[in-house]
Amino acid sequence: MSRLTLPLQGAQMLFVAFGALVLMPLITGLDTSVALFTAGIGTLLFQFITKRQVPIFLASSFAFIAPILYGVQTWGIPATMGGLMAAGVMYLMLGAMVKIRGTGFIHRLLPPVVVGPVIIIIGLGLAPMAVNMALGKTGDGSAVLVDPDTALIISLASLLTTIAIAIWAKGLLKLMPILGGILVGYGLSLIFGIVDFTKVEQAPWLAMPNFVAPEFHWQAIMFMIPVAIAPAVEHIGDILAISNVTGKDYFKKPGLHRTLAGDGVATIAAAAFGGPPNTTYSEVTGAVSLTRNFNPSIMTWTAITAILMAFVGKLGALMQTIPVPVMGGIMCLLFGSIAAVGLNSLIRNNVDLGEPRNLCIVGVTLVFGIGGMAFGIGSFSLQGISLCGVVAIILNLVLPATPAHIKAELAQSKQDASSH
């Protein structure tokens, strides 16, 4: 492979990830240029810790959208970043436990009956925001930013384009449904005249990203730590996927403990600069599968390209001009897909909701999450995804396993019901 080919392949991988990478900071109000920079830095750190053996790219994690929105509103961006750094430390602790006790530890602490409903809550909890933005409102619905009729046309066009590309597109294009939806929605926004280029005209070509130094507040830290549960399990799934694609067992070499540690250090570094937490990107894994190019050096160039683009001031300003309905339309599919992943986790692992124990864990977790349950002692409170994660883990550890004779009775009753 020539020296020129590697940078071009790297730029192509960034193009695949670009839509999802910038959408997350746009939703949460973080800086897109910082997100590009921290995705690059995080990937390089991941490669260093895993000895550049895994061809994977790390960027903005959608699992943290709701916690970041709540954290920014409650404590501000610096304190939220401090909490996210603590979530990264949680990854390191999980990696250490995997090193000491093996991968079975993760599956015992976080079985599908725990992870499934938490992931469902991540998606469904964000549904009202997606609908509000699709209708031209702010995420909380408090203000109208775009005429509702115009917004609906743009958001539906973005949504349908994203669906069409995901289902019917071929080759590399199939891996870029979010980017396709943004481009079509943005084009319609230009036609309707709702795009304001003032910031782009004022922005310099070269500019330093708006880095934010973290602050440490124990309330924000305690709120963010449980949120790391679902992304940690997602990480395991992504490492398994890239292992299947390349035909190498990355659970053994470099080891799951190293990949978890790499993800944790990447998240800590991202939050230290004021960027969104990092996670392994399935889109890029799909691109690796399609191109059949398994050289990890490509991801090094993907990271370098992201870092260089972070300093293009006009690009960052251009990202800020994407109208609300464009993002809202795509989010209707995106957040629904997250919930479907959680549901699929329960189905694929044959979690029997006929068992009282499983039903209690899933039922309580879903109602607490969708209903907005909150527990507080003094100035400390748990709610949302954090509360769901803690409750699901505690119920799983405390509730006794269903006795074998009850399982047999349930199985027999199902068999009898199906025979009639």
Who contacts 91 (Cβ-Cβ below 8 Å, separation ≥6)? 228, 232, 235, 260, 261, 263, 264, 267
How far apart (Å, rounded) are the C-alpha atoms in residues 47 and 350?
Answer: 35
Instruction: Report the pLDDT value the prediction gives residue 405, as an integer from 0 to 100.
Output: 67
The answer to pTM > 0.85 is yes
pLDDT at 86: 96
Compare 234 and 215 and report the one with higher pLDDT. Answer: 215
Residue 233 CA to residue 349 CA, distance in Å, equals 14
Q: Is the pLDDT of residue 402 over 80?
A: no
Q: HSE, CB side, 13 Å, CA atoms: give it for residue 186.
A: 14
The whole-number pLDDT of residue 419 equals 66
On the question of pLDDT at 188 being above 90, the answer is yes
Listed residue (136, 161, 189, 198) closest to 324, CA to CA: 136
